[in-house]
Amino acid sequence: MLSSVREHKVEGNALNELYKKRFNQVRKRSRELCSTLETEDFVIQPVIDVSPPKWHLGHTTWFFESFILKEFMEGYKEFHPSYNYLFNSYYESVGERWQRPNRGLLSRPTVKDVMDYREHVDHAMSDFFQSVEINQEIQKFFEIGLQHEQQHQELLVYDVKHILGINPMFPVFREREIDPEPYGELDSSFTEIGEGIYSIGYEGNDFCFDNEKGVHNVFLHPFRVQNRLITNGEYLEFIESGGYKDFRFWLSEAWTWVNEQEVKAPFHWHKIEGKWKYFTLSGLLDIQVDEPVTHINFFEADAYARWAGKRLLTEFEWEVACEKIEPEVSEKANFSDKNIFHPEASNRTQFLGDAWEWTNSAYLPYPYYKTDEGALGEYNGKFMINQMVLRGGSCATAKDHIRPTYRNFFHPHLKWHFTGIRIAESI
């Protein structure tokens, strides 16, 4: 591969300037996200889905080292011979790896070791921007590498919330002042979308993942979609009217899950002396009834919708509705500025940036879907089974990582991320 790359002074090359700037921004945000963590917080893996924060920091670094520095920078010296083994997540094509369930069993490399690793790679990248001209092939890896680190930033927020939230001492990650009167009147209106053939998938010139490609038509029958997410207050009604105890609202596997796990509320909710509270990244607080409910899984979103006499959207309906109603991230969605990682009030028509909205679509390939060659081909396609699509982006998503065509996906029982409910009905 190296033969196709010219190594020399490349100052002034626009792509080099562009990626240097974005690279530094993205990498800096990862560091900043962790600034209030204790060393011990970086090590824990409470459940298999959660990774230790230091693993996220190492893995995102490994991505740049493996796919850019080792491939395209002559003479690059890898930081440590064990790190390819330790920080590979799931790339079968990149060799053996430490298994995911055991990520929390490694005290070494230490947090400092991982920070040194980041520094080493960032430093090498700084040389790279000076010496290697970024061509189209390299650009692809850069783009994925940056998006990838943004995805892990978001996971890192969920994982930190999980790690702190199961601790009986409920530590505070970000201090927060709660606005005593943040919400106006709750708008419960719906928007109608008419029958027709609609185009689905990403069509612009910016980055998108391979799973958004394969632009194609779908035929939609008419439907009506609510202009905001379901609130904590509405979800409390579901709980208090016995929603978790009535099989009629639940899919069969969901009902088994509710009963075996004895589920009574969203994740991070705690009934303390008869009163519901929730753990937030600002500690244990009273539940704010007008905020969008989060930390519910697909089973709960689906059951809520059924209880309400409605249904969830398909991912196609969602994409069409989003494009029509709110195709850009709203100015009001100031999540990433406040940096407290908590969704805003929902009395408005916000599709993008509050919570990932569960759709009733399974994560499957678009008609013309084609996986990338090589390791990047393992990025999305191989997960297209047993998962449900979520759309919209959350308060923990990097702002420039949100778009209407973005297809997020999780198994239906998972609920440690910022998930939300939007209801709809056929007309």
What residues make contact with a second copy under the rule CB under 8 A?
38-44, 46, 54, 82, 85-86, 90, 92-93, 98, 104-111, 163-164, 166-169, 171, 197, 216-219, 221, 223, 247-248, 250-255, 298-299, 302, 311, 360-362, 364-365, 367-368, 377, 382-386, 412, 426
Gap between the Cα atoms of 355 and 147, Å rounded: 19
* For a second copy, the closer CB: 54 or 295: 54
Gap between the Cα atoms of 275 and 330, Å rounded: 34
C-alpha distance from residue 57 to each of 49, 92, 144, 303 (Å): 16, 20, 16, 37
Gap between the Cα atoms of 406 and 319, Å rounded: 9
Gap between the Cα atoms of 281 and 205, Å rounded: 36
Q: How far is the CB of 219 from a second copy (least distance, A)?
A: 4
C-alpha distance from residue 315 to each of 107, 301, 364 (Å): 41, 14, 11
Both structure tokens of 232: 């904590």
Q: How far is the CB of 118 from a second copy (least distance, A)?
A: 16
Strand partners, 405: none
The answer to whether 50 touches 152, Cβ cutoff 8 Å, is no
Both structure tokens of 2: 């190296």
Q: How far is the CB of 62 from a second copy (least distance, A)?
A: 15
Strands of 33-174 (E only): list them. Answer: none
Gap between the Cα atoms of 380 and 158, Å rounded: 20
Q: How far is the CB of 247 from a second copy (least distance, A)?
A: 4
* For a second copy, the closer CB: 167 or 241: 167
Q: How far is the CB of 171 from a second copy (least distance, A)?
A: 5
* For a second copy, the closer CB: 29 or 311: 311
* For a second copy, the closer CB: 101 or 182: 101
Q: How far is the CB of 312 from a second copy (least distance, A)?
A: 10
* For a second copy, the closer CB: 212 or 302: 302
Residue 316 three-state SS: helix
In the chain the first and final C-alpha atoms are separated, in Å, by 55
* For a second copy, the closer CB: 25 or 82: 82
* For a second copy, the closer CB: 310 or 348: 310
Which amino acid does the sequence have at 138?
Answer: I
The answer to whether 258 touches 318, Cβ cutoff 8 Å, is no
Both structure tokens of 205: 């010139």
* For a second copy, the closer CB: 228 or 391: 391
Q: How far is the CB of 402 from a second copy (least distance, A)?
A: 25
What's phi and psi for 358, nearest 5 deg? -65, 130
Cis, bond preceding 109 (omega within 30 deg of 0):
yes
Helix (H) or strand (E) holding 118: helix 111-131
Q: How far is the CB of 218 from a second copy (least distance, A)?
A: 6
Per-residue b/e over 247-283, b at no fewer than 16 CB within 10 Å? eebbeeebbebbeeeebebbbbbeeeeeebbbbbbbb
